[in-house]
Structure 1
Amino acid sequence: MSSRSTGNVREMTGGEEAPAEDESSALAGMHPRPQFARPGWVDLTGPWGFAHDDVDCGLDAGWYDQPQPFDRTIIVPFPPESRASGIADTGFHPVVWYRRAVRLAAGQRAGRVILHFGAVDYRATVWVNGHLVARHEGGQTPFHADITTALLPGDSEQVVTVRAEDDPFDLTQPRGKQDWKRDCHAIWYKRTTGIWQPVWLETVPPIHLTELLWTPDTVAVRFGLRVRLNRTPDRPLRVRVHLSQDGIVIADDTWIASKSETERLIGLDRGSAVMERTTFFWTPEHPNLFEAEVTLLDGDEVIDTVFSYAGLRSVGVADRWFQLNDRPYYLRMALEQGYWPESHLAAPDEAAMCREIELTKALGFNGIRIHQKVEDPRFLALCDRLGLIVWGEMASAYVYSDEGFARYTREWIDVVRRDASHPCIVAWVPYNESWGVPNVGINATEQAAVQALYHTVRALDPTRPVIANDGWETPVGNIFGVHDYTFDAAVLAQRYGTSEAVAHTLAHIQPSARRILLLDIARGDTPVMVTEFGGISYAPATDEKWYGYGTARTPDEYLDRFSSLVGALLASPAIAGFCYTQLTDTEQETNGLLTEDRLPKFHPETIRAILNSPPVAIPAAVLAAHREKTRADTGVGDGVAIPGETPSA
């Protein structure tokens, strides 16, 4: 692969293991925040002490300062319900504790020491050497703590203790597809409690970089960059950004930072050799990226450096199409549960993440809808680098409450802030099938909640479309997603085969016994997509328990049904794309194109040939016109792939 596909490996890897542990890290390799990577980070994944606290006595008993209760070993970041963790206990355990001893080298203490958690489900309390350093609510989002003042002197062992609380019966708590019953039922899966994303330490100077937000501008061929510091500097500092592609410098810019937050527009060198021999734009077919080095300086003295990257691309909606880089782009997506048989919400390793993305592309999909979870930043970074579109979603609650809505909104804000710089993410999905707002069809409060979260996400990120309530009962949105699990291709054609048919379906048909649109909103030019369909179950091991939306008994029967359903949607001039259910078998569901171990059930080329028939919705003449418009607007012409054409890779 070229550097545009793989990135600068030196800058994305290099985590040091905590010297107090001899065992290797469970997920060593990429930096846990690939778009904000500091060298010299200390990887704390691997063995930790562990204890269940079913009667919730640990706080009163002072477990945060005692080693005795931790009589078991867990492999972090795998949840204790999973086999990969070494615990494999799927019972009801609302409170769990972790303990890890770490020794820091002298160089790792030459500044402020920051302890990071990628995600802990659901409420986390953290102590270092018995001192409380952090509390966090939200099972899908990261948090950190400055633990410098809690550290013991010299080369003493530093003890990190974590208490995680995750009520399995609280249906107002964001849970995604985690089951509240002892055994998995219907479409619900085993629970994930506690730590399920990486834990790491890093050393930073007293004033340092904390956040980067890249905003691409494909018309002006530039990036907006927002840089945040941990505090306002005592005197003006300088920020320097160095952007390169394939080793060629594209931009080198420096400006003054006198406040804790600063913004800059960074133009790219359009006359460089890179511009002449390739395109700047990011697409799934050509996932071009710019490697970034961001440095904070005091005069000429380097204070802090982080490595990042960015992709130049735009997304939007117009004329009933989804658009990528101001051109119609037909979305062929798969529903991705992001669930692993051995490790649940946590992927086994980075190789497994990479293989899943490569298999998805090999099957002919250009995107995935991450379903009911917030993916690991490393997975998103691989989607950026390998070229796979992502719809960002979060774990929903199941019933509505005022407090549940408040905490759901807070966590969504953190999700958007964490992931807004990823070029692979092209849309946000705050709600799915009215989960968390079950009475939205008739309840004004829940309708207002959906509208409020839609506008909140749009305010945080006006550059991406928002699908407010995917599936049905949406009161607002930039794309209308419909879930339709009919097994009859003729019915799909009848419902979506023409613009008139789509209008009739939106207004009068209830494919899942729910209205599609609420509050008499009009379609106008809003794109319509069938964002869940198919769900055909095929389990070669016929004694397996399965759940799906219908079954096929033989491979030929499956492929016939799959081909007819996909063909009905590709033949429609009135929809902007689709999302097939689903990519992988998951727990009792055997309706994946891959098994739960990510093995193809059918030859990928067979599926690819079906998926990649040209869509009727975007005529070739329209694509040609948009090619000319891009050339006129940006000066970028030859070598720019036309999104929407059948991909070649």
Structure 2
Amino acid sequence: MTDQPRPEYPRPQFVRDRWRNLNGEWEFEFDGGDSGFERGLVQRRLQHQITVPFAPESQLSGIGDTDFHAAVWYRRAIQIPAEWSGLNVVLHFGAVDHDATIWIDGIEVGRHRGGFTPFAIDISTFVRAGRTSTLVVRARDSKDASQARGKQSTEYHNHHCDYTRTTGIWQTVWLEAVPPISLKRPRITPDVGASALHVELPLTSNVPGGSVAVTLRDAEGIVVSGTARADIDLAPRVTLSIPASRSRLWSPEDPHLYDLDLELLDPSGAVIDGARSYAGLRSVAIVGKSVLLNGRPVFQRLVLDQGYYPDGIMTAPSDEHLIRDIKLAQEVGFNGARLHQKVFEERYLYHADRLGYLVWGEFGDWGCKVDWKPDDRQKPTASYITQWLEALERDYSHPSIIGWCPLNETRQYIGDGITVLDDVTRGMFLATKAADRTRPVIDASGYSHRVAETDIYDSHNYEQDPELFAGVMDMIRTGVPYINTEDDENRSIPETAPWSIAYRGQPYFCSEFGGIWWNPTPADGEASWGYGQRPESLEAFYQRFTGLVDVLLDNPEMFGYCYTQLTDVFQEQNGLFFFDRTPKFDAERLRAVQSRTAAIEAQALAPSS
């Protein structure tokens, strides 16, 4: 056992043995005027202590200050193990919100923009094995609307759908030792049709006469091995053909994972570098209105998961908390989630992989618009594309991810002409398709669909009356589905939808609905809200939940849905669990409502005439 916070290995799909976790107590100081550099904070000791990787707004950080913080500083000693002599030392940050600058012994060694995505810096030139150096981090977190912030409040208090901010380090910081010529993170592409895995192994440099080797294992031992030359391509590719007797598809019912051993070899066959990984053999396809998993329709019973915690804010208090959230969702009948308005830490995806949980990867950019006013949430910039590409690179190989959603609820009239929102929306869509041809992409979830060739079309609808909800959702059967409008409280559908390009027959689903407001015992003075009027009784809640879910399960044009939401989040009290994850409802009853065969699944099961 260890008292170190979040001690587990942070990158479970590319594991090396030589690493050192830097979580724990760091020196810390607020810098409200962002003048710390001029005041010499790079060189001197800081005034306070903080527990990394928890943000200073969180209770688990030991600080719990939820005010705005223009800049914060971190400092700690790092000792490079003597046995790392001759190896390169890489400094990793899981996520720092929002702009980070890094110094080693007073020398700037790197910088990064983006509060949701990881970055790494080779610090070999600035440290020595067996010696101690000083690491200093400055994180800037402005109120600028061009900063992608997800659901972080731009007002002092939490309100409506905006929550407590996260500033600075909020995911694991760690050191890794790698050979001077080494493997980079692999890209693993499943090929169900050929019963194969394609493993691309980028290298820091080629090895004359060298090779890369990949060994695939299951519970019975070695399945297959393969090699490729490491001297003619910066990203050698090995195809592993899996024999039929050992082929086992990954699915929610059977989340089978193969183990992978990765090696970089010199001309004599000696190992230069090695790492461990894993993979799932599964496919995602589109046929008509259906989204297929391994060639069959699997109705996506998704839940909106925002990944907030009462004491950790955006950082899970422990690895066990990540596992619990997935299992809670599965217990009430969901088979997956929209990972909403933040890039979830990679440990979460690892658990989704092994637990058979379908997820849509998303960025944190809610409500982007171009006619920006000071109280608006976010306005798009080219930096969104850069940061999204970092997320795609990190998460490409996770089998649990079955789709991508770069933007959420963007807002702009079609009649406004081409704007920066069009550029960024199309840029993020094209970047996603260039990085990954194997998964469907939604250009923007809800409201402003801007890319005609978007793979998926969706809408958000929080109508609470099941009969009215059915009238709107059934429009997809006519070929002209419900599309979000400016006056979304008015469920009427105008002849033209000024927010979106026309629907072209893509698979369609309601990717946000429900949000039923339920908090039977609010504390005195506690702010609380949800969608619509609170049900008058617990039984009324079940009736409303059942009615809304039935509308979507019974619609043969609907390939899935996403219910809002898994847990309460601060004042937004429309979750199926309280914020502390204690239950609100009978899990078996909720599971029974969701578990019956959906209409689109029944069509696939029906015998052909």
Instruction: Tell me the residue number matched to 2:480.
Output: 503
Q: Return the match for 2:91 from 90, 94, 115.
A: 115
Residues 35-184 of structure 1 mapped to structure 2, 5 A cutoff: 35-67=13-45, 70-151=46-127, 153=128, 155-167=130-142, 169-184=143-158
Deviates more, 1:581-590 or 1:444-453: 444-453
Offset at 1:454?
Answer: 1.3
Give TM-score scaled by structure 1 length: 0.87
| Unmatched 5+ stretches in structure 2 | 373-377
Measured at CA, do residues 517 and 173 of structure 1 come closer, stay the same or move farther in structure 2, by a change above 3 Å?
Answer: same
Offset at 1:183?
Answer: 0.3
Instruction: Tell me the residue number matched to 1:6.
Output: none
Offset at 1:248?
Answer: 2.1
Instruction: Tell me the residue number matched to 1:534.
Output: 514
Measured at CA, do residues 520 and 603 of structure 1 come closer, stay the same or move farther in structure 2, by a change above 3 Å?
Answer: closer
Measured at CA, do residues 501 and 144 of structure 1 come closer, stay the same or move farther in structure 2, by a change above 3 Å?
Answer: same
Offset at 1:62?
Answer: 2.6
Report Cα offsets for 1:465-497 as digits up to 9, x if no partner.
111111122133111111011011111221223
Q: Return the match for 1:188 from 162, 169, 176.
A: 162
Measured at CA, do residues 154 and 309 of structure 1 come closer, stay the same or move farther in structure 2, by a change above 3 Å?
Answer: closer
Contact 1:393 1:429 in 2 (8 A): yes
Q: Return the match for 1:353 from 311, 317, 322.
A: 322
Offset at 1:61?
Answer: 2.5
Instruction: Tell me the residue number matched to 1:323.
Output: 292
Instruction: Tell me the residue number matched to 2:504.
Output: 523
Residues 235-274 of structure 1 mapped to structure 2, 5 A cutoff: 235-259=208-232, 261-272=234-245, 274=246
| Unmatched 5+ stretches in structure 1 | 1-13, 15-22, 626-649
Measured at CA, do residues 499 and 173 of structure 1 come closer, stay the same or move farther in structure 2, by a change above 3 Å?
Answer: closer
Report Cα offsets for 1:609-645 as digits up to 9, x if no partner.
01112111222554778xxxxxxxxxxxxxxxxxxxx
Instruction: Tell me the residue number matched to 1:294.
Output: 262
Contact 1:251 1:266 in 2 (8 A): no
Offset at 1:519?
Answer: 6.2
Measured at CA, do residues 294 and 407 of structure 1 come closer, stay the same or move farther in structure 2, by a change above 3 Å?
Answer: same
Contact 1:498 1:572 in 2 (8 A): no
Distance in 1 separating the partners of 2:423 and 2:254: 40
Report Cα offsets for 1:93-139 as digits up to 9, x if no partner.
11000011122321133411111101111110111121211111111
Q: Is residue 2:527 matched to residue 1:545? A: yes
Contact 2:196 2:242 in 1 (8 A): no
Q: What is the DSSP-based 3-state SS (H/G/I as helix, E as strand, rest coil) of the residue aligned with 1:100?
A: strand
Instruction: Tell me the residue number matched to 1:418.
Output: 394
Distance in 2 separating the partners of 1:501 and 1:74: 58
Q: Return the match for 2:252 from 284, 293, 303.
A: 284
Distance in 2 separating the partners of 1:492 and 1:263: 52
Q: Is residue 2:183 matched to residue 1:200? A: no
Q: Which amino acid aligns with 1:382?
A: H
Contact 1:50 1:71 in 2 (8 A): yes
Offset at 1:512?
Answer: 5.2
Measured at CA, do residues 511 and 286 of structure 1 come closer, stay the same or move farther in structure 2, by a change above 3 Å?
Answer: farther
Offset at 1:441?
Answer: 6.4
Report Cα offsets for 1:136-157 as digits up to 9, x if no partner.
1111111111112212x56432
What is the identity percentage for the equivalent residue pairs of Structure 1 and Structure 2? 38
Distance in 2 separating the partners of 1:382 and 1:411: 23
Q: What is the DSSP-based 3-state SS (H/G/I as helix, E as strand, rest coil) of the residue aligned with 1:209?
A: coil
Measured at CA, do residues 135 and 507 of structure 1 come closer, stay the same or move farther in structure 2, by a change above 3 Å?
Answer: closer
Q: Is residue 2:547 matched to residue 1:564? A: yes
Instruction: Tell me the residue number matched to 2:457.
Output: 480
Deviates more, 1:313-322 or 1:214-223: 313-322
Measured at CA, do residues 201 and 519 of structure 1 come closer, stay the same or move farther in structure 2, by a change above 3 Å?
Answer: closer
Offset at 1:389?
Answer: 0.6
Distance in 2 separating the partners of 1:128 and 1:486: 54
Q: What is the DSSP-based 3-state SS (H/G/I as helix, E as strand, rest coil) of the residue aligned with 1:602?
A: coil
Distance in 2 separating the partners of 1:594 and 1:519: 34
Deviates more, 1:170-179 or 1:315-324: 315-324
Distance in 2 separating the partners of 1:243 and 1:472: 44
Contact 1:82 1:344 in 2 (8 A): yes
Q: What is the DSSP-based 3-state SS (H/G/I as helix, E as strand, rest coil) of the residue aligned with 2:214?
A: strand
Q: Which amino acid aligns with 1:266?
A: T
Report Cα offsets for 1:163-203 as digits up to 9, x if no partner.
00010x21111000000110011110010011111110011
Measured at CA, do residues 184 and 259 of structure 1 come closer, stay the same or move farther in structure 2, by a change above 3 Å?
Answer: farther
Offset at 1:259?
Answer: 4.5
Q: Is residue 2:436 matched to residue 1:461? A: yes
Q: What is the DSSP-based 3-state SS (H/G/I as helix, E as strand, rest coil) of the residue aligned with 2:84?
A: helix
Q: What is the DSSP-based 3-state SS (H/G/I as helix, E as strand, rest coil) of the residue aligned with 1:463?
A: coil
Instruction: Tell me the residue number matched to 2:194.
Output: 220
Contact 1:109 1:203 in 2 (8 A): no
Offset at 1:415?
Answer: 1.0
Measured at CA, do residues 502 and 74 of structure 1 come closer, stay the same or move farther in structure 2, by a change above 3 Å?
Answer: farther
Give TM-score scaled by structure 2 length: 0.92
Residues 592-603 of structure 1 mapped to structure 2, 5 A cutoff: 592-603=575-586
Instruction: Tell me the residue number matched to 1:211.
Output: 185
Q: What is the DSSP-based 3-state SS (H/G/I as helix, E as strand, rest coil) of the residue aligned with 1:255?
A: strand
Instruction: Tell me the residue number matched to 1:17.
Output: none
Residues 303-452 of structure 1 mapped to structure 2, 5 A cutoff: 303-396=272-365, 398-400=368-370, 404-434=380-410, 438=412, 442-445=416-419, 446-452=421-427
Instruction: Tell me the residue number matched to 2:375.
Output: none
Distance in 2 separating the partners of 1:142 and 1:63: 24
Distance in 1 separating the partners of 2:403 and 2:486: 26
Number of positions where the alignment pairs a residue of Structure 1 with one of Structure 2: 590
Q: Which amino acid aligns with 2:230?
A: A
Q: What is the DSSP-based 3-state SS (H/G/I as helix, E as strand, rest coil) of the residue aligned with 1:345?
A: coil
Contact 1:498 1:573 in 2 (8 A): no
Distance in 2 separating the partners of 1:124 and 1:242: 38
Q: What is the DSSP-based 3-state SS (H/G/I as helix, E as strand, rest coil) of the residue aligned with 2:467?
A: helix
Contact 2:84 2:129 in 1 (8 A): no
